[in-house]
Amino acid sequence: MPVPPCDISPIEFCALFQIKSHIFNELKRHRLGPEIHQPPGTDLERISPAAIRAWQESIKDPNCKAAKILRQHAFAIQRGLKGLKSPNHPANLIKELKALKAAREST
């Protein structure tokens, strides 16, 4: 993933690496995310390109706790998408019930 040439916000970081904000906050809480700094005189949080590169290097190790959190997150997304395809998923059951109701009302 290319590193931007300038400092970015945590929101931009999440969008760039396709990380949900609650996962980013979990990484930040465990001090496993990229180093965040505040420009003098502001309340803004920024992440430098050097911090992004260092974070990318750290997550290359599969035993790294941050890498494990990211893998678990990716696995949960896949599991959720697979569940949505199931005919027994509540959303699919509701669609089926609505279709049956519409068919009954049209007759």
30-78 pLDDT per residue, tens = 999 999 999 999 999 999 999 999 999 999 998 999 999 999 999 998 9
User: Model-level pTM?
Assistant: 0.71
CA distances from 39 to 15, 44, 47, 64 (A): 21, 7, 10, 29
Q: Does the pLDDT at position 1 exceed 80?
A: no
